[in-house]
């Protein structure tokens, strides 16, 4: 109990006293997970809409792969990203291994299937009659897709929340491709694991508390946007 109290007290001190290392780690966490989530939205939502609406041979197989990707273990994602980014890997010439860029790639791989699968489900739940009504009104292809996305906006916001939640809490892939280098690739999750391994449970609890506050704050904002969107419909 004393360890928990010390950890929570330490978290408050780190936040309100402006611990520079904690702010550095927290900012990098926001930067890496934020960019990875944004990229997964840019790729995942259009791909999810395409898979939800188009019919082609092998579609069910592709969707099953996407659904499997939702449960992709972060360590497996980190392993394959490492293989491709290693010095002698296919993309080794980029020289981004053990950098924030490599962590973004790994988290993008984790978040994309989540966003894509939620998008497929959200678009798939739209009443088929609405599709016909939009087309009957003479909507262009762009207008057709845009109206469907607006109709499925609550589900798409859920996709974004799920995607962000999947990467902000991820540790295995970040540790493998980032290396947990102090001042360069150390984020809240990897720092927490490191402190636990050193036996500094009070510091680990403090970092974990800050991570929870960060995750809740972002999710809370997205939830407010989602609920406002629901009230307008």
Domain that holds residue 65: 2-228
Residue with tokens 């290392």: 21
Q: 151: which residues sit within 8 A by CB, 6+ positions away?
A: 126, 130
Q: Exposed, middle or buried: residue 14 (CB in 10 Å: 0-12, 13-18, 19+)?
A: buried
Inside any domain, residue 166: yes
Nearest by Cα to 142 from 27, 46, 23: 46
State pLDDT tens for residues 166-219: 899 888 899 999 988 888 899 999 988 888 888 877 778 888 888 888 888 888
pLDDT of residue 57: 92
Inside any domain, residue 97: yes
How far does CA 91 lie from the centroid of its chain? 23
Q: What is the CA radius of gyration of the chain?
A: 20
- Residue 35 pLDDT > 90: yes
Report the first-to-last Cα separation within the chain, whole angstroms.
47
Inside any domain, residue 233: no
pLDDT of residue 163: 92
Count CB neighbours of 72 within 10 A. Answer: 17
Inside any domain, residue 173: yes
C-alpha to C-alpha distances, 107 to 17, 21, 138, nearest whole angstrom: 31, 23, 40
Question: For position 85, which CATH number holds?
Answer: 1.10.3720.10
Is-contact 229 157, C-beta < 8 A?
Answer: yes
Inside any domain, residue 213: yes
Is-contact 209 7, C-beta < 8 A?
Answer: yes
The total domain count for the chain is 1
Inside any domain, residue 155: yes
131 against 188, higher pLDDT: 188
Q: 148: which residues sit within 8 A by CB, 6+ positions away?
A: 49, 53, 123, 126, 130, 131, 134
The pLDDT mean for the chain works out to 86
Q: Interior CA angle at 107 toward 44 and 177, to 5°? A: 145
Cα torsion angle, 163, 166, 170, 173, sign: negative
231 against 30, higher pLDDT: 30
């Amino acid at each position: 109990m004393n360890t928990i109290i010390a950890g929570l007290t330490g978290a408050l001190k780190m936040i309100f006293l402006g611990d520079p290392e904690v702010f550095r780690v927290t900012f990098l966490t926001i930067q890496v997970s934020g960019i990875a989530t944004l990229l997964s939205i840019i790729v995942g939502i259009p791909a999810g809409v395409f898979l939800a609406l188009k019919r082609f041979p092998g579609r069910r197989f592709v969707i099953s792969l996407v659904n499997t990707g939702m449960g992709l273990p972060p360590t497996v994602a980190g392993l394959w990203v490492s293989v491709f980014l290693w010095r002698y890997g296919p993309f080794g010439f980029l020289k981004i291994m053990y950098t924030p860029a490599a962590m973004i790639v790994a988290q993008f791989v984790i978040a994309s299937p989540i966003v894509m699968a939620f998008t497929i489900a959200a678009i798939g739940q739209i009443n088929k009659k609405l599709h016909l009504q939009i087309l009957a009104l003479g909507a262009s292809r762009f207008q057709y897709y845009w109206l469907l996305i607006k109709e499925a906006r609550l589900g798409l916001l859920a996709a974004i929340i799920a995607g962000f939640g999947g990467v902000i809490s991820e540790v295995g892939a970040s540790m493998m491709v980032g290396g947990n280098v102090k001042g360069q690739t150390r984020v809240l999750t990897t720092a927490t694991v490191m402190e636990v391994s050193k036996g500094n449970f009070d510091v680990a609890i403090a970092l974990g508390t800050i991570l929870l506050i960060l995750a809740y704050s972002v999710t809370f904002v997205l939830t407010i946007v989602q609920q406002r969107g629901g009230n307008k419909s």
